Structure 1
Amino acid sequence: MNAVPTAGPSALLRPTPGTRGEGTTRRLPDGSGPAIAVILTAYLLPARLVFPPLAAVGRPAVVLAIVLFLWWSLTRLHPRLAVRGRQPMRWILAGYLATLGASYIAGLARGLPPLEANGADRAMVMAIGGAGLLLILADGVLTRDRVDRVLRWFCWACGFMAMVALGQFALRRDFTTHLNLPPVLVFQRDVIGFDDRGGAGLFRVAGTAGHYIEFSVLMVIGLLVAMHLGRYSPLRRDRQIFTALAVLQAGVIPLSLSRTGVLALGAAVLLLALAWPLRTTLNVMAVGVVVAAAIQVVRPGLLQSLRALLVAGERDPSVRGRTEDYAFVAPYIAERPWFGRGAGTWLPELYQLLDNQWLLTLVTTGWVGVTGLVLLFGGGIMVAGRIRRHAKLTRDRDLALVLAVAVGVTAVSSFTFDSLHFSTYFLTVHLLLGLIGALWRVTRAEPTNEGG
């Protein structure tokens, strides 16, 4: 494994017209190193570890992402630094941010108590951080090798989170309490810890994530990327390593005892199987059977408990609570249907917890905000679909498919918990969308110094 890349810009040479028809060179910022730094701090450090003065937005990964937004903004001010050319993800992001900003203004207009005002500010700061990560990837990762570089480090980060979860489950010890590095960081709240579920001494683990559901879906996304690298890495050794990482991440998904993770995994594999060759599908299914058998041997009762959770339906208190939320929020939606009560203003300590990001978006940002979120997820999937149709290389088409499915998984999983409240999940969504933008530019050989 290579050394951790630095966050500074590296030289990327691009020919530009000279005064006598000769080419000169232009150095453009490299976004892969800074993006990897965000990924590593998001996945390797516990989700509730923050800089004390910054509270909820003080996660190191979020702070770095905000710095990336400032960096990207500064590059746009200088023609020798700006990465220009068409980039659909910029417009998709701009549309989403516009709906979020409109809701923020609508919230301020109705007058916000201090706690809600703080929540609204947090939502906007988080949005800036997510935008920074997306834009630095879409406009700063300009070669296919650098796209793979980001993917590889993302896989290693997911593998670390999986190993932490496996250690938690095997030893019933929470190692995340010892990851408060550097010492200036503090835990905003207690780490997520363990949660008994399913009886028979079973308990849930979340690795370094902020919630069990978040952990399970992140592992599904990491699994998808690892499977792609396991198939298309140029070296046999790398293919074996990433295949092993894929098996590891598939094996820890049940440890969250989350219905969402199991359903997300099933949906992702089903969608990929529709496009994969039959042999690949059969190989994946065979590995899945082996992993399931190993889990059954090592921890009898775990898979049965998951099955019981999946078929419980309305008998499960968490499912019943989610369905009851609709009646509770209906008056709030009817009161402000278009722009909502204001982004980030629905706080569990003031109202109640809504385990449904789409419903939460409707309450806080109205139908305009829901439209913006559909644009963000749907636009990314559509761009990935166009890449897959026009890409010349098989590995590019496969990566476009994997990214589209991963974004779809994040969108559908958001029906089961307030997903965008969790910063690792939030940053991962923008990571996927930014990689779609980078792959779009790379596969279309889009000029980077012309146009707007």
Structure 2
Amino acid sequence: MAVLWCAYALFLILPGELALVGPLRSNGTPLRLLGLLAFFLVLAAFLRVDERRWPRPVAAIAVAYLAFIVFAWATAHLHTMTGPESAEINRSVLIVVSGTGLALLAASIVDDLRLAHVLVGLLAVGAVVCVSVGALQYFGVINAWSEVIRLPFTTTVVPPMGVVDRLGMNRVSGSTSSPLEYSVVLAIVLPLMIHLAVHARSKAARLGAAAGAVVVLLGIPLGFSRSGLLTVVVTTCVMLVFLRPAHRWTVLVIGAAIAVGGVVLAPEIVGILSDLVLNSSSDNSIQGRLNDYSSVIAQFEESPWLGNGPLFERTTVSVLDNQWLGTLVRDGLVGMLGMVVLLGGGAALAAHSASRLPRGSAERSLNGALCAGLLGLGVAAGTFDIFSFQQATFIAFLLLGLVGIGVPRRRDGAPDAAAPAEQASRAA
């Protein structure tokens, strides 16, 4: 469990550009190294035939996505690549191996709600830290978080973004690597904090989670990101489906109060957010992405099944900020199917797991929050190149590893078909 505790705790504390000094460069970030260690531990445990521990069914999704990525890596080598392109392809595989390791380890050893709540609580604390850093950046107290927490044995593998200007306001990245990543990741963690606010074991923990959720909801707009706003709407709406009516109304009332308070107390921020949404069609950042679409579609038609590999990055002038489209062109329909398996399959399994659990139970709520987060990430991928950022990539695997908590299993890891009836009788 120590590896998982460290990974979930450090996820929103250390930005993706901060790595250990040495030859590993971006592969030397603490989170990636923990993931690689987790992968080794899972593999070593699986090879122990005399004492094999079967993970929850969600492990099949993580392994399937890894297989898709390895296949895309192999087909990319059918093209002639430069040294930097080859290194980039290799890094993209290693980060998935690392994320898969964390997902598999969680799916193997986190087998009850108490352990899951510890990990979710670490994510919640990290989210509050991220917003606190964002607030300091917004008021001009600090700039790049990686420069503040940098130690003698750490280095930044890419220049930190820090605070940037958007329409005259400080646009923050908190403890992440970009404002988009900041807003999207916080929006994905929010349903988990709502879950803790309802189902944490102690009253103090529930109140703390509720206060943290309010802080996160207040902090998301500081990223001034349309992607973040869209994601928080999606994740909150999906989470409401899995809550009791009384809890739904509580969330809606608090959300409405925050919105009204924002209009009264921070009209400039609300005005800029409204302008970003209502005038998006004339935004230069969006127009720059759309201008590339015609050439991108032409590339897809050249190799629809396996994609164009490194040729995609060479011929794309600007950043697409669309992970679905970028994957479709770079890795083809096969690569896009891998994304569907990871995000769509993970969300579907979380929803199915929730449907097999008693209404109002904490396990049902947790799986609903995981479904909301994975669906939100899938929607955000249409407006944000999520897999270009470490924390936006890892959040998918950190959520995936907890899917299926509370669904009883047989010794071979398969769901127990009699579980719904038994749980219903116990609930009654």
TM-score of the superposition, structure 2-length normalised?
0.90
- The answer (yes or no) to whether the contact 1:158–1:219 under 8 Å persists in 2 is yes
Q: Is 1:246 matched up with 2:213?
A: yes
1:321–1:227 CA distance, 2 compared to 1 (3 A) = same
Which residue, out of 228, 252, 259, partners 1:261? 228
Deviation digits for residues 305-345 of structure 1 (CA, Å, limit 9, x no counterpart) = 10110011320112222222211212321222111133x77
Which residue, out of 392, 405, 408, partners 1:444? 408
Structure 1 Cα separation of the partners of residues 379 and 208 of structure 2: 30
Q: Which residue of 2 aligns with 1:224?
A: 191
- The answer (yes or no) to whether the contact 2:306–2:331 under 8 Å persists in 1 is yes
- The answer (yes or no) to whether the contact 2:11–2:123 under 8 Å persists in 1 is no
The one-letter code matched in structure 1 to 2:25 is A
The one-letter code matched in structure 2 to 1:117 is S
Structure 2 Cα separation of the partners of residues 345 and 128 of structure 1: 24
- The answer (yes or no) to whether the contact 2:12–2:130 under 8 Å persists in 1 is yes
Aligned pairs for 1:420-431 within 5 A = 420-431=387-398
Q: Which moved more, 1:159-168 or 1:170-179?
A: 170-179
Deviation at 1:346, TM superposition (A): 4.6
The one-letter code matched in structure 1 to 2:250 is N
Q: Which residue of 1 aligns with 2:258?
A: 291
- The answer (yes or no) to whether the contact 1:151–1:225 under 8 Å persists in 2 is yes
Structure 2 Cα separation of the partners of residues 148 and 131 of structure 1: 20
Structure 1 Cα separation of the partners of residues 283 and 233 of structure 2: 21
Q: Is 1:363 matched up with 2:346?
A: no
1:45–1:111 CA distance, 2 compared to 1 (3 A) = same
Structure 2 Cα separation of the partners of residues 172 and 296 of structure 1: 25
Structure 2 Cα separation of the partners of residues 120 and 81 of structure 1: 36
Q: Which moved more, 1:73-82 or 1:355-364?
A: 73-82
Q: Which runs of 5+ in 1 are unaligned?
A: 1-31
The one-letter code matched in structure 2 to 1:379 is G
Q: Is 1:72 matched up with 2:39?
A: no
Q: Which residue of 2 aligns with 1:11?
A: none
Which residue, out of 370, 377, 383, partners 2:349? 383
Q: Which moved more, 1:244-253 or 1:165-174?
A: 165-174
Q: Which residue of 1 aligns with 2:152?
A: 183
- What is the DSSP-based 3-state SS (H/G/I as helix, E as strand, rest coil) of the residue aligned with 1:88? coil
The one-letter code matched in structure 2 to 1:361 is T
Q: Which residue of 2 aligns with 1:196?
A: 165
Q: Which residue of 1 aligns with 2:244?
A: 277
Q: Which residue of 2 aligns with 1:213?
A: 180
Report the aligned-residue RMSD: 2.2
Q: Which residue of 1 aligns with 2:423?
A: none
The one-letter code matched in structure 2 to 1:49 is L
Structure 2 Cα separation of the partners of residues 93 and 284 of structure 1: 32
Q: Is 1:57 matched up with 2:23?
A: no
Which residue, out of 267, 285, 291, partners 1:324? 291
The one-letter code matched in structure 2 to 1:216 is S
Structure 2 Cα separation of the partners of residues 349 and 179 of structure 1: 37
Deviation at 1:197, TM superposition (A): 1.0
Structure 2 Cα separation of the partners of residues 300 and 163 of structure 1: 21
- The answer (yes or no) to whether the contact 1:119–1:347 under 8 Å persists in 2 is no
1:449–1:424 CA distance, 2 compared to 1 (3 A) = closer
Structure 2 Cα separation of the partners of residues 361 and 294 of structure 1: 40
Structure 1 Cα separation of the partners of residues 93 and 133 of structure 2: 31
Deviation digits for residues 270-305 of structure 1 (CA, Å, limit 9, x no counterpart) = 223344333322221221233234434543310111
Which residue, out of 124, 129, 135, partners 1:160? 129
Structure 2 Cα separation of the partners of residues 277 and 115 of structure 1: 52
Structure 1 Cα separation of the partners of residues 38 and 148 of structure 2: 24
- What is the DSSP-based 3-state SS (H/G/I as helix, E as strand, rest coil) of the residue aligned with 1:435? coil
Deviation at 1:130, TM superposition (A): 1.0
Q: Which moved more, 1:371-380 or 1:280-289?
A: 280-289
Deviation at 1:162, TM superposition (A): 1.3
- The answer (yes or no) to whether the contact 2:346–2:403 under 8 Å persists in 1 is yes
Deviation at 1:349, TM superposition (A): 9.6
The one-letter code matched in structure 2 to 1:167 is L
- What is the DSSP-based 3-state SS (H/G/I as helix, E as strand, rest coil) of the residue aligned with 2:249? helix
The one-letter code matched in structure 2 to 1:370 is M
Q: Which moved more, 1:40-49 or 1:274-283?
A: 274-283
- The answer (yes or no) to whether the contact 2:54–2:413 under 8 Å persists in 1 is yes
1:81–1:303 CA distance, 2 compared to 1 (3 A) = farther
- What is the DSSP-based 3-state SS (H/G/I as helix, E as strand, rest coil) of the residue aligned with 2:159? coil
- What is the DSSP-based 3-state SS (H/G/I as helix, E as strand, rest coil) of the residue aligned with 2:403? helix
Structure 1 Cα separation of the partners of residues 146 and 351 of structure 2: 42
Q: Which moved more, 1:284-293 or 1:237-246?
A: 284-293
Deviation at 1:431, TM superposition (A): 0.5
Aligned pairs for 1:167-178 within 5 A = 167-174=136-143, 176-178=145-147
Which residue, out of 78, 88, 94, partners 2:57? 88
- What is the DSSP-based 3-state SS (H/G/I as helix, E as strand, rest coil) of the residue aligned with 1:309? helix
TM-score of the superposition, structure 1-length normalised?
0.86
